[in-house]
Amino acid sequence: MLGIVFAVSQFFLMSSFQRIEEQYAREMVERTTNAFNNQLESLNRLNLDWASWDDTYAFVQNPSDHYDYVKSNFTDSTFTNNKLNFIFVINNEGQTIYGKGFDLDAEVETDMPSELLEHIMSKALTFHGDVEEYTAGIILLPQGPLLVSSQPILTSNDEGPIRGTFVMAQYFDEAMINGISDAVHLPLTIARVDDTEMPAAFSVARLSLSTESPLFISRESVKTVAGYALLKDIYGEPALMFRVEMPRDVTAQGQALMIYFILAVCGLAIVYVYVVNVFVGRVVIARLERVGHFVNTISISGDLSTNLPTRSNDELTVLERNINRMVDKLQEQQEELNKELEERKKMAQKLKEMATHDFLTGLPNRILLIDRFNIASALAHRNQDRLAVMSLDIDHFKTINDTLGHDIGDKLLIGFGARIGGIIRASDTLARIGGDEFVLLVLETNHKEDTSVIAQKIIDSFKEHFSVDDQWVYLSTSIGIAIYPDDGVDLETLLKKSDAALYYSKGHGRNKFKFFSDGDVWLAGDRKSNNG
Protein backbone atom coordinates (compact mmCIF):
# COMPACT_ATOMS: atom_id res chain seq x y z
CA MET A 1 0.00 0.00 0.00
CA LEU A 2 2.85 2.39 0.84
CA GLY A 3 4.32 1.75 -2.59
CA ILE A 4 1.02 2.65 -4.24
CA VAL A 5 0.70 5.84 -2.17
CA PHE A 6 4.26 6.83 -3.13
CA ALA A 7 3.72 6.13 -6.83
CA VAL A 8 0.43 8.04 -6.98
CA SER A 9 1.93 11.01 -5.11
CA GLN A 10 5.01 11.01 -7.34
CA PHE A 11 2.98 10.87 -10.57
CA PHE A 12 0.25 13.42 -9.83
CA LEU A 13 1.80 15.86 -7.38
CA MET A 14 5.32 16.14 -8.84
CA SER A 15 4.14 16.36 -12.45
CA SER A 16 1.84 19.21 -11.41
CA PHE A 17 4.66 21.04 -9.62
CA GLN A 18 6.94 20.62 -12.65
CA ARG A 19 4.33 22.10 -14.99
CA ILE A 20 4.01 25.13 -12.72
CA GLU A 21 7.80 25.42 -12.59
CA GLU A 22 8.15 25.34 -16.40
CA GLN A 23 5.39 27.93 -16.88
CA TYR A 24 7.09 30.25 -14.40
CA ALA A 25 10.46 29.78 -16.15
CA ARG A 26 8.89 30.66 -19.52
CA GLU A 27 7.38 33.82 -18.04
CA MET A 28 10.77 34.85 -16.66
CA VAL A 29 12.47 34.29 -20.06
CA GLU A 30 9.79 36.43 -21.74
CA ARG A 31 10.23 39.06 -19.04
CA THR A 32 13.99 39.12 -19.72
CA THR A 33 13.36 39.45 -23.47
CA ASN A 34 11.03 42.39 -22.74
CA ALA A 35 13.72 44.03 -20.57
CA PHE A 36 16.22 43.73 -23.44
CA ASN A 37 13.67 45.17 -25.89
CA ASN A 38 13.05 48.08 -23.48
CA GLN A 39 16.81 48.81 -23.50
CA LEU A 40 16.82 48.82 -27.30
CA GLU A 41 13.66 50.94 -27.41
CA SER A 42 15.25 53.54 -25.10
CA LEU A 43 18.23 53.83 -27.48
CA ASN A 44 15.88 54.09 -30.47
CA ARG A 45 13.77 56.83 -28.85
CA LEU A 46 16.90 58.81 -27.96
CA ASN A 47 18.10 58.49 -31.56
CA LEU A 48 14.69 59.62 -32.87
CA ASP A 49 14.93 62.85 -30.85
CA TRP A 50 18.28 63.67 -32.50
CA ALA A 51 17.38 62.52 -36.01
CA SER A 52 14.06 64.42 -36.11
CA TRP A 53 15.51 67.87 -35.36
CA ASP A 54 15.77 70.94 -37.58
CA ASP A 55 19.40 71.55 -36.51
CA THR A 56 20.44 68.04 -37.62
CA TYR A 57 18.44 68.45 -40.82
CA ALA A 58 20.34 71.68 -41.65
CA PHE A 59 23.75 70.26 -40.66
CA VAL A 60 23.59 67.17 -42.89
CA GLN A 61 22.79 69.36 -45.92
CA ASN A 62 25.48 72.03 -45.31
CA PRO A 63 28.06 70.74 -42.80
CA SER A 64 30.53 73.60 -43.37
CA ASP A 65 27.89 76.23 -42.57
CA HIS A 66 26.90 74.58 -39.28
CA TYR A 67 30.17 73.83 -37.50
CA ASP A 68 28.72 75.06 -34.21
CA TYR A 69 26.22 72.17 -34.36
CA VAL A 70 29.05 69.64 -33.88
CA LYS A 71 30.88 71.74 -31.31
CA SER A 72 27.85 72.34 -29.09
CA ASN A 73 26.11 68.94 -29.40
CA PHE A 74 28.67 66.14 -29.81
CA THR A 75 30.55 66.81 -26.59
CA ASP A 76 32.03 64.13 -24.34
CA SER A 77 29.17 64.67 -21.90
CA THR A 78 26.66 63.72 -24.64
CA PHE A 79 28.32 60.29 -24.83
CA THR A 80 28.76 59.79 -21.07
CA ASN A 81 25.29 61.05 -20.07
CA ASN A 82 23.55 58.80 -22.62
CA LYS A 83 26.04 55.89 -22.30
CA LEU A 84 26.82 56.00 -26.04
CA ASN A 85 29.92 54.56 -27.70
CA PHE A 86 29.36 55.70 -31.30
CA ILE A 87 27.50 58.41 -33.24
CA PHE A 88 27.37 58.73 -37.05
CA VAL A 89 25.73 61.31 -39.32
CA ILE A 90 25.52 60.05 -42.93
CA ASN A 91 24.13 61.90 -45.98
CA ASN A 92 22.06 60.40 -48.79
CA GLU A 93 25.20 59.79 -50.85
CA GLY A 94 26.49 57.40 -48.20
CA GLN A 95 29.18 59.83 -47.00
CA THR A 96 29.88 60.00 -43.27
CA ILE A 97 29.49 63.71 -42.47
CA TYR A 98 30.34 63.11 -38.82
CA GLY A 99 31.48 60.10 -36.82
CA LYS A 100 32.89 59.68 -33.35
CA GLY A 101 33.76 56.76 -31.09
CA PHE A 102 34.00 57.12 -27.33
CA ASP A 103 35.45 54.92 -24.56
CA LEU A 104 33.03 55.29 -21.64
CA ASP A 105 35.47 53.75 -19.12
CA ALA A 106 38.43 55.98 -19.99
CA GLU A 107 36.13 58.89 -21.07
CA VAL A 108 38.25 59.59 -24.16
CA GLU A 109 37.60 59.54 -27.91
CA THR A 110 38.53 56.25 -29.57
CA ASP A 111 39.08 54.93 -33.09
CA MET A 112 36.25 53.45 -35.12
CA PRO A 113 36.50 49.64 -35.55
CA SER A 114 36.81 48.81 -39.25
CA GLU A 115 34.20 46.05 -38.83
CA LEU A 116 31.69 48.62 -37.56
CA LEU A 117 32.36 50.91 -40.55
CA GLU A 118 31.50 48.03 -42.89
CA HIS A 119 28.12 47.64 -41.17
CA ILE A 120 27.54 51.41 -41.16
CA MET A 121 27.82 51.56 -44.94
CA SER A 122 25.38 48.67 -45.47
CA LYS A 123 21.85 49.32 -46.72
CA ALA A 124 20.44 47.70 -43.60
CA LEU A 125 21.44 50.84 -41.66
CA THR A 126 21.47 53.63 -44.28
CA PHE A 127 18.43 52.86 -46.46
CA HIS A 128 15.02 54.12 -45.31
CA GLY A 129 12.10 53.55 -47.66
CA ASP A 130 9.96 56.20 -45.95
CA VAL A 131 9.97 58.51 -42.94
CA GLU A 132 8.55 55.75 -40.74
CA GLU A 133 11.24 53.17 -41.50
CA TYR A 134 14.07 52.65 -39.04
CA THR A 135 16.49 49.91 -37.97
CA ALA A 136 17.26 48.83 -34.42
CA GLY A 137 18.98 45.71 -33.16
CA ILE A 138 22.29 43.95 -32.55
CA ILE A 139 25.56 44.00 -34.48
CA LEU A 140 28.28 41.50 -33.60
CA LEU A 141 31.80 42.99 -33.57
CA PRO A 142 35.08 41.33 -32.51
CA GLN A 143 35.13 43.89 -29.67
CA GLY A 144 31.73 42.71 -28.45
CA PRO A 145 28.00 42.86 -29.30
CA LEU A 146 26.66 46.33 -30.09
CA LEU A 147 23.14 47.75 -29.76
CA VAL A 148 22.52 50.04 -32.75
CA SER A 149 19.70 52.36 -33.84
CA SER A 150 19.40 53.97 -37.29
CA GLN A 151 16.81 56.70 -37.95
CA PRO A 152 16.11 58.81 -41.07
CA ILE A 153 17.08 62.48 -40.66
CA LEU A 154 13.88 64.58 -40.74
CA THR A 155 12.64 67.97 -39.60
CA SER A 156 11.43 68.59 -36.06
CA ASN A 157 7.91 67.93 -37.38
CA ASP A 158 9.00 64.45 -38.56
CA GLU A 159 8.68 65.55 -42.18
CA GLY A 160 10.86 64.79 -45.20
CA PRO A 161 12.33 64.57 -47.64
CA ILE A 162 14.85 62.30 -45.90
CA ARG A 163 18.30 63.96 -45.91
CA GLY A 164 20.38 61.14 -44.47
CA THR A 165 20.79 58.74 -41.57
CA PHE A 166 21.55 59.27 -37.86
CA VAL A 167 23.14 56.26 -36.13
CA MET A 168 23.68 55.71 -32.39
CA ALA A 169 25.31 52.64 -30.85
CA GLN A 170 26.34 51.35 -27.43
CA TYR A 171 28.16 48.18 -26.43
CA PHE A 172 26.02 45.48 -24.87
CA ASP A 173 28.56 45.24 -22.04
CA GLU A 174 28.67 43.81 -18.53
CA ALA A 175 27.06 46.91 -17.00
CA MET A 176 24.04 46.65 -19.31
CA ILE A 177 23.73 42.91 -18.69
CA ASN A 178 23.83 43.53 -14.92
CA GLY A 179 21.17 46.22 -15.32
CA ILE A 180 18.80 43.80 -17.07
CA SER A 181 19.64 41.13 -14.46
CA ASP A 182 18.72 43.56 -11.67
CA ALA A 183 15.48 44.47 -13.46
CA VAL A 184 14.28 40.85 -13.64
CA HIS A 185 15.88 39.85 -10.29
CA LEU A 186 17.56 36.80 -11.85
CA PRO A 187 21.16 35.86 -12.81
CA LEU A 188 21.66 36.59 -16.52
CA THR A 189 24.41 35.21 -18.81
CA ILE A 190 25.01 36.13 -22.47
CA ALA A 191 26.83 34.09 -25.17
CA ARG A 192 27.53 34.82 -28.81
CA VAL A 193 26.02 32.38 -31.30
CA ASP A 194 29.28 32.43 -33.32
CA ASP A 195 31.40 31.56 -30.26
CA THR A 196 32.95 28.13 -30.93
CA GLU A 197 33.97 27.88 -27.26
CA MET A 198 30.64 28.75 -25.65
CA PRO A 199 29.82 26.92 -22.39
CA ALA A 200 28.51 23.39 -22.78
CA ALA A 201 25.07 24.30 -21.40
CA PHE A 202 24.66 26.95 -24.12
CA SER A 203 25.79 24.48 -26.81
CA VAL A 204 23.13 21.97 -25.75
CA ALA A 205 20.43 24.64 -25.60
CA ARG A 206 21.45 26.00 -29.03
CA LEU A 207 20.45 22.70 -30.62
CA SER A 208 16.89 23.18 -29.35
CA LEU A 209 16.53 26.87 -30.32
CA SER A 210 15.27 28.02 -33.71
CA THR A 211 13.02 30.64 -35.31
CA GLU A 212 10.05 28.32 -34.72
CA SER A 213 11.17 27.51 -31.14
CA PRO A 214 12.88 30.66 -29.83
CA LEU A 215 12.65 29.57 -26.16
CA PHE A 216 14.07 26.54 -24.32
CA ILE A 217 13.70 25.43 -20.68
CA SER A 218 16.28 23.08 -19.10
CA ARG A 219 16.18 21.49 -15.64
CA GLU A 220 19.94 21.58 -15.13
CA SER A 221 20.09 20.27 -11.57
CA VAL A 222 17.87 19.35 -8.66
CA LYS A 223 18.20 22.94 -7.42
CA THR A 224 18.08 25.07 -10.57
CA VAL A 225 16.13 25.44 -13.81
CA ALA A 226 17.43 27.61 -16.67
CA GLY A 227 15.67 29.38 -19.53
CA TYR A 228 17.35 30.17 -22.87
CA ALA A 229 16.30 32.42 -25.76
CA LEU A 230 17.76 33.80 -29.00
CA LEU A 231 18.28 37.47 -29.84
CA LYS A 232 18.54 38.33 -33.53
CA ASP A 233 20.80 40.90 -35.21
CA ILE A 234 19.70 43.70 -37.58
CA TYR A 235 19.83 41.24 -40.47
CA GLY A 236 17.34 38.88 -38.85
CA GLU A 237 19.95 36.22 -38.04
CA PRO A 238 20.58 34.72 -34.55
CA ALA A 239 23.27 36.78 -32.84
CA LEU A 240 23.13 36.20 -29.07
CA MET A 241 21.78 33.65 -26.64
CA PHE A 242 20.87 34.53 -23.08
CA ARG A 243 20.38 32.31 -20.05
CA VAL A 244 18.41 33.11 -16.89
CA GLU A 245 18.72 30.83 -13.90
CA MET A 246 15.95 30.24 -11.35
CA PRO A 247 15.82 28.17 -8.17
CA ARG A 248 13.46 25.20 -8.27
CA ASP A 249 11.52 26.40 -5.23
CA VAL A 250 8.17 24.99 -6.33
CA THR A 251 9.56 21.51 -6.98
CA ALA A 252 11.59 21.58 -3.75
CA GLN A 253 8.54 22.46 -1.68
CA GLY A 254 6.52 19.81 -3.48
CA GLN A 255 9.18 17.17 -2.79
CA ALA A 256 9.39 18.18 0.86
CA LEU A 257 5.61 18.00 1.19
CA MET A 258 5.47 14.60 -0.49
CA ILE A 259 8.34 13.15 1.60
CA TYR A 260 6.78 14.48 4.80
CA PHE A 261 3.48 12.90 3.85
CA ILE A 262 5.04 9.53 2.93
CA LEU A 263 7.10 9.45 6.15
CA ALA A 264 3.99 10.25 8.10
CA VAL A 265 2.14 7.41 6.42
CA CYS A 266 5.07 5.05 7.12
CA GLY A 267 5.14 6.10 10.75
CA LEU A 268 1.46 5.55 11.06
CA ALA A 269 1.80 2.11 9.47
CA ILE A 270 4.50 1.12 11.97
CA VAL A 271 2.39 2.34 14.87
CA TYR A 272 -0.55 0.50 13.43
CA VAL A 273 1.32 -2.85 13.33
CA TYR A 274 2.70 -2.34 16.84
CA VAL A 275 -0.70 -1.56 18.35
CA VAL A 276 -2.35 -4.53 16.62
CA ASN A 277 0.28 -6.89 18.02
CA VAL A 278 0.13 -5.51 21.56
CA PHE A 279 -3.57 -4.80 21.99
CA VAL A 280 -5.62 -7.63 20.59
CA GLY A 281 -9.17 -6.61 20.78
CA ARG A 282 -11.99 -5.77 18.53
CA VAL A 283 -12.28 -2.19 19.86
CA VAL A 284 -8.58 -1.52 19.38
CA ILE A 285 -8.55 -3.02 15.90
CA ALA A 286 -11.69 -1.08 14.93
CA ARG A 287 -10.15 2.21 16.05
CA LEU A 288 -6.90 1.48 14.22
CA GLU A 289 -8.83 0.61 11.11
CA ARG A 290 -10.56 3.98 11.40
CA VAL A 291 -7.16 5.68 11.62
CA GLY A 292 -5.91 3.72 8.61
CA HIS A 293 -9.03 4.60 6.64
CA PHE A 294 -8.56 8.29 7.53
CA VAL A 295 -4.94 8.26 6.34
CA ASN A 296 -5.91 6.44 3.15
CA THR A 297 -8.67 8.98 2.46
CA ILE A 298 -6.22 11.88 2.81
CA SER A 299 -3.64 10.21 0.55
CA ILE A 300 -6.25 9.68 -2.19
CA SER A 301 -8.34 12.88 -1.92
CA GLY A 302 -5.62 15.25 -0.69
CA ASP A 303 -8.22 16.91 1.57
CA LEU A 304 -6.37 18.11 4.70
CA SER A 305 -9.27 20.10 6.19
CA THR A 306 -10.71 17.23 8.30
CA ASN A 307 -9.51 15.78 11.62
CA LEU A 308 -9.97 12.53 13.51
CA PRO A 309 -12.56 12.75 16.28
CA THR A 310 -11.14 12.01 19.76
CA ARG A 311 -13.48 10.65 22.44
CA SER A 312 -11.32 9.29 25.29
CA ASN A 313 -7.87 9.78 26.81
CA ASP A 314 -6.03 6.50 26.14
CA GLU A 315 -2.96 5.71 24.01
CA LEU A 316 -4.97 5.57 20.82
CA THR A 317 -6.40 9.00 21.54
CA VAL A 318 -2.83 10.34 21.81
CA LEU A 319 -2.11 8.77 18.44
CA GLU A 320 -5.23 10.36 16.97
CA ARG A 321 -4.21 13.74 18.32
CA ASN A 322 -0.72 13.36 16.86
CA ILE A 323 -2.27 12.48 13.50
CA ASN A 324 -4.47 15.58 13.73
CA ARG A 325 -1.41 17.73 14.48
CA MET A 326 0.39 16.17 11.52
CA VAL A 327 -2.59 16.84 9.24
CA ASP A 328 -2.79 20.43 10.49
CA LYS A 329 0.90 20.88 9.71
CA LEU A 330 0.45 19.44 6.24
CA GLN A 331 -2.50 21.77 5.70
CA GLU A 332 -0.40 24.77 6.76
CA GLN A 333 2.29 23.82 4.26
CA GLN A 334 -0.33 23.31 1.56
CA GLU A 335 -1.79 26.76 2.27
CA GLU A 336 1.69 28.32 2.11
CA LEU A 337 2.28 26.63 -1.23
CA ASN A 338 -1.13 27.81 -2.53
CA LYS A 339 -0.29 31.35 -1.38
CA GLU A 340 2.98 31.31 -3.31
CA LEU A 341 1.26 29.98 -6.42
CA GLU A 342 -1.33 32.76 -6.11
CA GLU A 343 1.44 35.38 -5.87
CA ARG A 344 3.02 33.99 -9.02
CA LYS A 345 -0.33 34.15 -10.81
CA LYS A 346 -0.55 37.83 -9.78
CA MET A 347 2.94 38.40 -11.17
CA ALA A 348 1.91 36.77 -14.46
CA GLN A 349 -1.17 39.02 -14.56
CA LYS A 350 1.04 42.07 -13.95
CA LEU A 351 3.33 41.05 -16.83
CA LYS A 352 0.25 40.66 -19.06
CA GLU A 353 -0.91 44.16 -18.05
CA MET A 354 2.54 45.59 -18.88
CA ALA A 355 2.17 44.13 -22.39
CA THR A 356 -1.18 45.91 -22.99
CA HIS A 357 -0.65 49.25 -21.19
CA ASP A 358 1.68 52.20 -21.68
CA PHE A 359 4.49 52.06 -19.10
CA LEU A 360 4.50 55.85 -18.48
CA THR A 361 0.82 56.87 -18.30
CA GLY A 362 -0.77 53.51 -17.49
CA LEU A 363 -3.19 54.02 -20.40
CA PRO A 364 -3.99 51.25 -22.90
CA ASN A 365 -1.35 50.88 -25.64
CA ARG A 366 -1.80 50.08 -29.34
CA ILE A 367 -2.27 46.33 -28.66
CA LEU A 368 -5.19 46.87 -26.27
CA LEU A 369 -6.63 49.65 -28.49
CA ILE A 370 -6.78 47.23 -31.46
CA ASP A 371 -8.49 44.59 -29.30
CA ARG A 372 -11.13 47.03 -27.99
CA PHE A 373 -11.74 48.46 -31.46
CA ASN A 374 -12.35 44.97 -32.87
CA ILE A 375 -14.94 44.29 -30.15
CA ALA A 376 -16.57 47.73 -30.46
CA SER A 377 -16.71 47.65 -34.29
CA ALA A 378 -18.31 44.19 -34.29
CA LEU A 379 -20.98 45.43 -31.85
CA ALA A 380 -21.48 48.66 -33.84
CA HIS A 381 -21.88 46.67 -37.07
CA ARG A 382 -24.52 44.47 -35.47
CA ASN A 383 -26.42 47.46 -33.98
CA GLN A 384 -25.78 49.78 -36.97
CA ASP A 385 -24.04 52.31 -34.69
CA ARG A 386 -21.17 54.64 -35.42
CA LEU A 387 -17.82 54.95 -33.65
CA ALA A 388 -15.47 57.94 -33.54
CA VAL A 389 -11.70 57.53 -33.74
CA MET A 390 -9.94 60.70 -32.56
CA SER A 391 -6.21 61.30 -33.05
CA LEU A 392 -4.85 63.80 -30.51
CA ASP A 393 -1.43 65.20 -29.80
CA ILE A 394 0.01 68.03 -27.74
CA ASP A 395 0.74 71.20 -29.68
CA HIS A 396 4.43 72.19 -29.67
CA PHE A 397 5.37 69.23 -27.49
CA LYS A 398 8.79 68.94 -29.14
CA THR A 399 9.53 72.52 -28.04
CA ILE A 400 8.34 71.73 -24.50
CA ASN A 401 10.73 68.75 -24.30
CA ASP A 402 13.64 70.78 -25.69
CA THR A 403 13.11 73.74 -23.34
CA LEU A 404 11.78 72.21 -20.11
CA GLY A 405 13.37 68.75 -20.33
CA HIS A 406 12.06 65.21 -20.75
CA ASP A 407 11.21 64.77 -17.03
CA ILE A 408 8.67 67.60 -17.13
CA GLY A 409 7.57 66.40 -20.57
CA ASP A 410 6.81 62.95 -19.11
CA LYS A 411 4.80 64.49 -16.25
CA LEU A 412 2.81 66.56 -18.74
CA LEU A 413 2.05 63.42 -20.79
CA ILE A 414 0.69 61.78 -17.63
CA GLY A 415 -1.38 64.88 -16.80
CA PHE A 416 -2.64 65.17 -20.37
CA GLY A 417 -3.98 61.62 -20.29
CA ALA A 418 -5.47 62.05 -16.80
CA ARG A 419 -7.33 65.24 -17.75
CA ILE A 420 -8.94 63.64 -20.81
CA GLY A 421 -9.67 60.51 -18.77
CA GLY A 422 -11.70 62.65 -16.37
CA ILE A 423 -13.91 63.86 -19.22
CA ILE A 424 -14.71 60.75 -21.25
CA ARG A 425 -17.13 57.95 -20.39
CA ALA A 426 -16.03 54.69 -18.81
CA SER A 427 -17.07 52.85 -21.98
CA ASP A 428 -14.68 54.91 -24.16
CA THR A 429 -10.97 54.10 -24.55
CA LEU A 430 -8.08 56.58 -24.39
CA ALA A 431 -4.77 55.02 -25.56
CA ARG A 432 -1.23 56.33 -25.85
CA ILE A 433 0.46 54.83 -28.92
CA GLY A 434 3.80 56.69 -28.90
CA GLY A 435 5.46 60.00 -28.02
CA ASP A 436 2.70 62.58 -27.55
CA GLU A 437 0.30 60.60 -29.78
CA PHE A 438 -3.02 59.63 -28.19
CA VAL A 439 -6.07 57.94 -29.71
CA LEU A 440 -9.61 58.19 -28.28
CA LEU A 441 -12.18 55.55 -29.27
CA VAL A 442 -15.70 56.89 -28.61
CA LEU A 443 -18.68 54.50 -28.77
CA GLU A 444 -22.23 55.15 -30.02
CA THR A 445 -21.53 58.45 -31.82
CA ASN A 446 -24.47 58.37 -34.19
CA HIS A 447 -24.66 62.17 -34.49
CA LYS A 448 -21.80 64.36 -35.62
CA GLU A 449 -22.89 67.07 -33.18
CA ASP A 450 -22.35 64.75 -30.21
CA THR A 451 -18.81 63.98 -31.36
CA SER A 452 -18.12 67.69 -31.83
CA VAL A 453 -19.26 68.39 -28.26
CA ILE A 454 -16.83 65.79 -26.90
CA ALA A 455 -13.92 67.13 -28.98
CA GLN A 456 -14.62 70.74 -27.96
CA LYS A 457 -14.95 69.74 -24.31
CA ILE A 458 -11.48 68.13 -24.49
CA ILE A 459 -9.97 71.26 -26.11
CA ASP A 460 -11.65 73.57 -23.53
CA SER A 461 -10.34 71.45 -20.64
CA PHE A 462 -6.78 72.59 -21.43
CA LYS A 463 -7.58 76.26 -20.78
CA GLU A 464 -6.60 75.47 -17.20
CA HIS A 465 -2.84 75.31 -16.61
CA PHE A 466 -0.76 72.37 -15.37
CA SER A 467 1.40 72.87 -12.28
CA VAL A 468 4.61 70.84 -12.69
CA ASP A 469 7.65 71.26 -10.43
CA ASP A 470 6.51 74.73 -9.28
CA GLN A 471 5.96 75.83 -12.91
CA TRP A 472 2.74 76.74 -14.67
CA VAL A 473 2.52 75.14 -18.09
CA TYR A 474 -0.33 75.70 -20.53
CA LEU A 475 -1.06 73.03 -23.11
CA SER A 476 -3.33 72.86 -26.10
CA THR A 477 -4.28 69.97 -28.30
CA SER A 478 -5.21 69.44 -31.92
CA ILE A 479 -7.69 66.71 -32.85
CA GLY A 480 -8.49 64.82 -36.04
CA ILE A 481 -11.67 62.72 -36.24
CA ALA A 482 -12.65 59.77 -38.45
CA ILE A 483 -16.03 58.00 -38.21
CA TYR A 484 -16.73 54.24 -38.46
CA PRO A 485 -18.05 53.03 -40.88
CA ASP A 486 -18.33 56.25 -42.99
CA ASP A 487 -14.54 56.78 -43.26
CA GLY A 488 -13.44 53.16 -42.99
CA VAL A 489 -14.18 49.85 -41.29
CA ASP A 490 -10.68 48.88 -40.08
CA LEU A 491 -8.65 50.68 -37.44
CA GLU A 492 -5.59 51.31 -39.63
CA THR A 493 -7.67 53.15 -42.26
CA LEU A 494 -9.50 55.17 -39.61
CA LEU A 495 -6.19 56.14 -37.93
CA LYS A 496 -4.72 57.29 -41.25
CA LYS A 497 -7.76 59.48 -41.88
CA SER A 498 -7.97 60.84 -38.33
CA ASP A 499 -4.22 61.62 -38.53
CA ALA A 500 -4.78 63.45 -41.82
CA ALA A 501 -7.51 65.52 -40.15
CA LEU A 502 -5.17 66.10 -37.18
CA TYR A 503 -2.42 67.47 -39.44
CA TYR A 504 -5.01 69.73 -41.09
CA SER A 505 -5.92 71.12 -37.63
CA LYS A 506 -2.26 71.67 -36.78
CA GLY A 507 -1.62 73.32 -40.13
CA HIS A 508 -4.53 75.72 -39.66
CA GLY A 509 -3.76 77.22 -36.29
CA ARG A 510 -3.78 74.24 -33.86
CA ASN A 511 -6.02 74.03 -30.74
CA LYS A 512 -9.00 72.89 -32.84
CA PHE A 513 -10.61 69.76 -34.20
CA LYS A 514 -11.36 68.60 -37.74
CA PHE A 515 -13.52 65.81 -39.20
CA PHE A 516 -11.97 63.93 -42.12
CA SER A 517 -15.38 63.94 -43.77
CA ASP A 518 -15.48 67.79 -43.80
CA GLY A 519 -13.24 67.80 -46.88
CA ASP A 520 -10.06 69.84 -47.51
CA VAL A 521 -8.12 67.00 -45.85
CA TRP A 522 -5.36 65.29 -47.79
CA LEU A 523 -4.65 61.65 -47.00
CA ALA A 524 -0.93 61.01 -47.59
CA GLY A 525 1.58 58.49 -46.24
CA ASP A 526 1.38 56.15 -43.32
CA ARG A 527 0.73 56.99 -39.70
CA LYS A 528 3.82 58.47 -37.95
CA SER A 529 4.86 60.25 -34.77
CA ASN A 530 4.24 64.00 -34.58
CA ASN A 531 6.18 66.03 -32.02
CA GLY A 532 4.84 69.43 -33.02
pLDDT of residue 528: 42
- pLDDT for 115-170, tens place per residue? 999 898 888 888 888 999 999 999 999 999 999 999 999 999 999 899 999 999 99
Closest CA to 217 of 239, 193, 177, 246: 246
Find how far residue 89's CA is from the centre of its chain.
Answer: 31
pLDDT of residue 146: 95
pLDDT of residue 527: 40
Q: How far apart are CA 228 and CA 208, in angstroms?
A: 10
pLDDT of residue 257: 67
Q: Is residue 343 within a helix (H) or strand (E), and if so which, with residue range?
A: helix 315-356
pTM, rounded to two decimals: 0.49
pLDDT of residue 531: 42
Q: How far apart are CA 379 and CA 384, in angstroms?
A: 8
3-state secondary structure at position 248: coil
Please write down the HEC assignment for all residues of 82-137.
Answer: HCCCEEEEEECCCCEEEEEEEECCCCEEECCCHHHHHHHCCHHHHCCCCCCCCEEE
pLDDT of residue 208: 87
- pLDDT for 262-301, tens place per residue? 676 667 667 665 655 665 556 666 766 777 777 778 778 7
pLDDT of residue 6: 56
- Catalytic annotation present for 402: no
Q: How far apart are CA 115 and CA 272, in angstroms?
A: 78
pLDDT of residue 228: 94
Spans of the chain, pLDDT less than 70: 1-14, 250-258, 260-262, 264-266, 268-269, 271-285, 287-288, 302, 311-312, 315-316, 348, 351-353, 523-532
39-171 and 366-518 have identical folds:
no
Contact predicate 501/392, CB 8 Å: no
- Looking at domain 366-518, which CATH architecture does it have? 2-Layer Sandwich (3.30)
Contact predicate 336/400, CB 8 Å: no
Domain residue ranges of the chain, discontinuous segments joined by +: 12-25+177-248, 39-171, 251-338, 366-518
pLDDT of residue 265: 63
Task: Pick one of 3.30.450, 3.30.70, 3.40.50, 3.30.2310 as the CATH number of 12-25+177-248.
Answer: 3.30.450
Q: Which of 173, 233, 428, 436 is catalytic?
A: 436
- Looking at domain 39-171, which CATH architecture does it have? 2-Layer Sandwich (3.30)
Q: How far apart are CA 523 and CA 521, in angstroms?
A: 6
